[in-house]
Amino acid sequence: MTSPAEPAPTWHGILRQAFKDNDVRLVTYVPDNVLRPLIEGCHADPFFTTFPCVREEEAVGVVTGATMAGMRGVVLMQTSGFATLPNVLASLPVAFQVPVVMVVSERGTMGEFNPGQAIVCRTMRPILDSMGIEHHTMARLDEAAFMADRTIRQAFATRWPACLIISPLLSGARK
Protein backbone atom coordinates (compact mmCIF):
# COMPACT_ATOMS: atom_id res chain seq x y z
CA MET A 1 0.00 0.00 0.00
CA THR A 2 1.32 3.47 -0.83
CA SER A 3 0.92 6.54 1.32
CA PRO A 4 -0.40 9.81 -0.14
CA ALA A 5 3.21 11.06 -0.35
CA GLU A 6 4.33 8.04 -2.40
CA PRO A 7 3.34 7.84 -6.05
CA ALA A 8 1.64 4.64 -7.14
CA PRO A 9 3.99 2.17 -8.82
CA THR A 10 4.03 2.10 -12.61
CA TRP A 11 5.18 -0.60 -15.01
CA HIS A 12 7.89 1.71 -16.38
CA GLY A 13 9.12 2.66 -12.90
CA ILE A 14 9.28 -1.02 -11.97
CA LEU A 15 11.30 -1.82 -15.10
CA ARG A 16 13.73 1.05 -14.49
CA GLN A 17 14.29 -0.24 -10.95
CA ALA A 18 14.82 -3.80 -12.22
CA PHE A 19 17.43 -2.46 -14.65
CA LYS A 20 19.19 -0.67 -11.77
CA ASP A 21 18.98 -3.68 -9.46
CA ASN A 22 20.70 -5.77 -12.15
CA ASP A 23 23.25 -3.12 -13.15
CA VAL A 24 21.75 -2.69 -16.64
CA ARG A 25 23.12 0.75 -17.49
CA LEU A 26 22.89 0.95 -21.27
CA VAL A 27 19.40 1.49 -22.71
CA THR A 28 19.15 1.29 -26.48
CA TYR A 29 15.84 1.86 -28.18
CA VAL A 30 13.91 2.61 -31.30
CA PRO A 31 11.36 5.30 -30.37
CA ASP A 32 7.91 3.96 -29.46
CA ASN A 33 4.91 5.73 -27.93
CA VAL A 34 4.05 2.88 -25.56
CA LEU A 35 7.61 2.76 -24.24
CA ARG A 36 7.88 6.56 -24.04
CA PRO A 37 7.54 6.78 -20.23
CA LEU A 38 10.27 4.15 -19.80
CA ILE A 39 12.52 5.84 -22.35
CA GLU A 40 11.98 9.31 -20.85
CA GLY A 41 12.58 7.98 -17.34
CA CYS A 42 15.87 6.41 -18.41
CA HIS A 43 16.95 9.60 -20.18
CA ALA A 44 16.23 11.60 -17.02
CA ASP A 45 18.20 9.27 -14.73
CA PRO A 46 22.00 9.72 -14.71
CA PHE A 47 22.40 6.02 -13.84
CA PHE A 48 21.62 5.17 -17.47
CA THR A 49 23.35 5.77 -20.75
CA THR A 50 20.56 5.97 -23.32
CA PHE A 51 21.17 5.45 -26.99
CA PRO A 52 18.47 5.90 -29.64
CA CYS A 53 18.86 3.67 -32.68
CA VAL A 54 17.50 3.80 -36.20
CA ARG A 55 16.73 0.07 -36.38
CA GLU A 56 16.31 -2.76 -33.92
CA GLU A 57 19.20 -4.70 -35.47
CA GLU A 58 21.47 -1.77 -34.65
CA ALA A 59 20.25 -1.74 -31.04
CA VAL A 60 20.96 -5.47 -30.67
CA GLY A 61 24.45 -4.98 -32.14
CA VAL A 62 25.22 -2.08 -29.77
CA VAL A 63 24.05 -4.03 -26.70
CA THR A 64 25.90 -7.17 -27.82
CA GLY A 65 29.15 -5.22 -28.18
CA ALA A 66 28.65 -3.41 -24.87
CA THR A 67 27.93 -6.69 -23.09
CA MET A 68 31.06 -8.29 -24.54
CA ALA A 69 32.99 -5.27 -23.21
CA GLY A 70 31.51 -5.69 -19.72
CA MET A 71 28.54 -3.29 -19.73
CA ARG A 72 25.02 -4.62 -19.33
CA GLY A 73 22.35 -3.29 -21.65
CA VAL A 74 18.77 -3.63 -22.81
CA VAL A 75 17.01 -3.16 -26.15
CA LEU A 76 13.58 -1.46 -26.15
CA MET A 77 11.32 -1.89 -29.19
CA GLN A 78 7.79 -2.34 -30.50
CA THR A 79 6.40 -5.67 -31.71
CA SER A 80 6.74 -4.67 -35.38
CA GLY A 81 10.44 -3.98 -34.87
CA PHE A 82 10.91 -7.51 -33.61
CA ALA A 83 10.03 -8.77 -37.10
CA THR A 84 13.42 -7.54 -38.33
CA LEU A 85 15.42 -9.45 -35.71
CA PRO A 86 15.43 -13.23 -36.26
CA ASN A 87 18.61 -13.25 -38.36
CA VAL A 88 20.58 -10.92 -36.11
CA LEU A 89 19.46 -12.76 -32.95
CA ALA A 90 20.40 -16.17 -34.38
CA SER A 91 23.75 -15.02 -35.76
CA LEU A 92 24.95 -12.82 -32.92
CA PRO A 93 23.62 -13.12 -29.33
CA VAL A 94 22.33 -16.70 -29.68
CA ALA A 95 25.37 -17.92 -31.62
CA PHE A 96 27.81 -16.35 -29.15
CA GLN A 97 25.75 -16.73 -25.96
CA VAL A 98 25.42 -13.01 -25.25
CA PRO A 99 22.69 -12.07 -22.77
CA VAL A 100 20.85 -9.41 -24.76
CA VAL A 101 17.74 -8.41 -22.83
CA MET A 102 14.85 -7.16 -24.97
CA VAL A 103 11.74 -5.29 -23.84
CA VAL A 104 8.99 -5.34 -26.46
CA SER A 105 5.79 -3.30 -26.33
CA GLU A 106 3.15 -5.63 -27.67
CA ARG A 107 0.90 -4.61 -30.54
CA GLY A 108 -1.20 -6.81 -32.79
CA THR A 109 -3.68 -7.96 -30.20
CA MET A 110 -6.70 -6.70 -28.29
CA GLY A 111 -8.38 -4.60 -30.96
CA GLU A 112 -5.37 -3.87 -33.14
CA PHE A 113 -6.33 -2.15 -36.40
CA ASN A 114 -3.12 -2.91 -38.33
CA PRO A 115 -3.00 -6.43 -39.85
CA GLY A 116 0.80 -6.27 -40.14
CA GLN A 117 1.09 -5.79 -36.38
CA ALA A 118 -1.23 -8.76 -35.78
CA ILE A 119 0.90 -11.06 -37.97
CA VAL A 120 4.12 -10.13 -36.16
CA CYS A 121 2.40 -10.55 -32.79
CA ARG A 122 1.36 -14.10 -33.73
CA THR A 123 4.86 -15.05 -34.91
CA MET A 124 7.04 -13.35 -32.25
CA ARG A 125 6.69 -15.98 -29.51
CA PRO A 126 7.21 -18.99 -31.84
CA ILE A 127 10.36 -17.32 -33.20
CA LEU A 128 11.67 -16.73 -29.67
CA ASP A 129 10.82 -20.34 -28.77
CA SER A 130 12.61 -21.69 -31.86
CA MET A 131 15.83 -19.97 -30.74
CA GLY A 132 15.46 -21.04 -27.12
CA ILE A 133 15.05 -17.42 -25.98
CA GLU A 134 13.25 -17.18 -22.66
CA HIS A 135 10.30 -14.78 -22.86
CA HIS A 136 7.64 -13.64 -20.45
CA THR A 137 4.62 -11.44 -21.03
CA MET A 138 4.12 -8.79 -18.38
CA ALA A 139 0.38 -8.23 -18.02
CA ARG A 140 -0.07 -7.47 -14.30
CA LEU A 141 1.50 -4.76 -12.20
CA ASP A 142 1.66 -6.99 -9.12
CA GLU A 143 3.89 -9.48 -11.00
CA ALA A 144 6.00 -6.98 -12.94
CA ALA A 145 8.88 -6.53 -10.47
CA PHE A 146 9.38 -10.27 -9.93
CA MET A 147 9.10 -11.08 -13.64
CA ALA A 148 11.48 -8.30 -14.74
CA ASP A 149 14.09 -9.03 -12.08
CA ARG A 150 14.13 -12.79 -12.59
CA THR A 151 14.18 -12.58 -16.39
CA ILE A 152 17.11 -10.15 -16.39
CA ARG A 153 18.93 -12.14 -13.72
CA GLN A 154 18.50 -15.41 -15.63
CA ALA A 155 19.73 -13.86 -18.90
CA PHE A 156 23.02 -12.81 -17.33
CA ALA A 157 23.41 -15.97 -15.25
CA THR A 158 22.92 -18.25 -18.27
CA ARG A 159 24.56 -15.91 -20.82
CA TRP A 160 21.53 -16.16 -23.09
CA PRO A 161 19.13 -13.59 -24.59
CA ALA A 162 15.77 -12.97 -22.94
CA CYS A 163 12.65 -11.01 -23.76
CA LEU A 164 10.06 -9.20 -21.67
CA ILE A 165 6.86 -8.50 -23.59
CA ILE A 166 4.77 -5.60 -22.29
CA SER A 167 1.11 -6.51 -22.78
CA PRO A 168 -1.44 -3.77 -23.49
CA LEU A 169 -3.15 -5.09 -20.34
CA LEU A 170 -0.22 -3.58 -18.42
CA SER A 171 0.65 -0.57 -20.55
CA GLY A 172 -2.90 0.45 -21.45
CA ALA A 173 -1.66 1.10 -24.98
CA ARG A 174 -3.63 1.68 -28.17
CA LYS A 175 -6.88 2.87 -26.61
Instruction: Give per-10-residue mean pLDDT for the chain (175 aa).
Output: 73 97 98 94 98 96 96 95 93 96 84 70 89 96 96 97 92 65
Residue boundaries of the structural domains of the chain: 11-169
SS3 of 29, please? strand
Element of type H or E holding 44: helix 36-44
**Exposure of 71 by Cβ count < 10 A (0-12 exposed, 13-18 middle, 19+ buried)?**
middle
The pLDDT value recorded for residue 4 is 64
Fold of 11-169: Rossmann fold (3.40.50)
DSSP string, 115-156: HHHHHHHHHHHHHHHHTT-EEEEE--HHHHHHHHHHHHHHHH
SS3 of 21, please? helix
pTM, two decimal places: 0.92
